[in-house]
């Protein structure tokens, strides 16, 4: 407790350095938070598309129900297909109504007649999608095949690019914040060189002198993590209405509060490690 009190005194007495240290830590954790949101969100989206029926075949209006049923039975017999679901014109309308329930203008224009009936086919493996879609396209009943493999592939490549950028950014920022913290704590140690010398002469152990500096580093880290977390979470919660209408149908929102708590926990842990590590480096460097 005494060390904590001493380090708090140190922090108060040099507000600009404390501010700089907290700012860089905030920046680091803001980036960590935002990239966590992006990566988790995009992987949820990819999962969503991967688990959804991957091939949708829309039938021509003149297609007869009996032909459709035999096509469906043929698909179900195939080992490549996991499941097949028939969506009639009426079901299509109710799905359409559900998706656009907030937009009465769109609802008025549409009747069951103009919506095609369709088959939603889920493949066992993503590689089989091409052959399934090819066989469907050759059927005379089918007017159009929507093939979501492209969507998934694009999303996956975006996600992996995002992940790379995120990791590089977070690593660079963490390094920068460690170096800035080492410098700031180093300045503080130099400022108190006389005090430290006196403490040593009256019998203070090295650790007695080191602890306040280490606590100081941890404080900067945790403060930065908390501010960064608070800010990014607030932004995410604030933009939830916009994002959930943009990502309609993908079950991401509302984000459970537990997620934020876990994120804070992990960030604080990282902050403690970063803060302690940088001040320990400084102490080793400047307090021989």
Write out the residues near other proteins by the rule CB under 8 A: 2, 195, 197-205, 208
Q: Which residue has the tokens 């993590």?
A: 225
As measured in angstroms, the least distance from the Cβ of 4 to other proteins is 13
As measured in angstroms, the least distance from the Cβ of 282 to other proteins is 21
d(CA 125, CA 86): 20
Q: Identify which of residues 2 and 125 has a Cβ nearer to other proteins in the complex.
A: 2
As measured in angstroms, the least distance from the Cβ of 14 to other proteins is 12
Neighbours of 63 (CB within 10 A): 18
What region, left, alpha or beta, does residue 211 occupy, with left being phi > 0 and alpha being psi -120 to 50 degrees?
alpha
> What's phi and psi for 86, nearest 5 deg?
-90, 130
Q: Identify which of residues 98 and 194 has a Cβ nearer to other proteins in the complex.
A: 194
**Encoded tokens for 26:** 């905030």
Q: Is-contact 49 151, C-beta < 8 A?
A: yes
Q: Identify which of residues 5 and 137 has a Cβ nearer to other proteins in the complex.
A: 5
CA diameter of the chain: 98
As measured in angstroms, the least distance from the Cβ of 193 to other proteins is 12
> What's phi and psi for 101, nearest 5 deg?
-65, -20
Q: Identify which of residues 5 and 101 has a Cβ nearer to other proteins in the complex.
A: 5
As measured in angstroms, the least distance from the Cβ of 198 to other proteins is 5
Q: Identify which of residues 4 and 151 has a Cβ nearer to other proteins in the complex.
A: 4
Q: Is-contact 210 2, C-beta < 8 A?
A: no
As measured in angstroms, the least distance from the Cβ of 201 to other proteins is 7
Q: Identify which of residues 140 and 203 has a Cβ nearer to other proteins in the complex.
A: 203
d(CA 212, CA 5): 8
Cis, bond preceding 254 (omega within 30 deg of 0): yes
């Amino acid at each position: 407790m005494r060390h904590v009190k001493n380090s708090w005194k140190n922090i108060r007495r040099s507000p600009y350095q404390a501010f700089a240290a907290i700012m860089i830590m905030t920046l680091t954790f803001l980036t960590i938070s935002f990239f966590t949101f992006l990566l988790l969100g995009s992987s949820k989206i990819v999962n969503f598309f991967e688990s959804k029926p991957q091939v949708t075949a829309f039938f021509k209006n003149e297609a007869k129900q009996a032909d459709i049923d035999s096509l469906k039975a043929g698909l179900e017999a195939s080992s490549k297909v996991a499941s097949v679901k028939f969506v009639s014109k009426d079901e299509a309308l109710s799905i359409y109504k559900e998706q656009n329930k907030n937009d009465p203008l769109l609802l008025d224009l549409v009747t069951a007649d103009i919506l095609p009936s369709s088959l939603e086919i889920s493949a066992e493996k993503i590689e089989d999608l091409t052959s399934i879609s090819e066989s469907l396209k050759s059927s005379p009943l089918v007017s159009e095949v929507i093939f979501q493999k492209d969507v998934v592939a694009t999303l996956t490549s975006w996600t992996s690019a995002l992940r790379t950028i995120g990791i590089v950014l977070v690593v660079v920022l963490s390094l920068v914040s460690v170096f800035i913290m080492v410098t700031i704590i180093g300045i503080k140690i130099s400022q108190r060189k006389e005090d430290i010398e006196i403490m040593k002469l009256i019998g203070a152990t090295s650790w007695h002198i080191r602890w306040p500096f280490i606590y100081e580093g941890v404080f900067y880290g945790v403060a930065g993590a908390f501010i960064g977390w608070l800010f990014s979470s607030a932004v995410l919660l604030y933009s939830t209405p916009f994002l959930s209408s943009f990502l309609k149908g993908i079950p991401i929102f509302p984000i459970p509060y537990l997620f934020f708590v876990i994120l804070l926990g992990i960030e604080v842990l990282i902050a403690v490690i970063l803060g302690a590590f940088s001040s320990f480096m400084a102490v080793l460097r400047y307090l021989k």
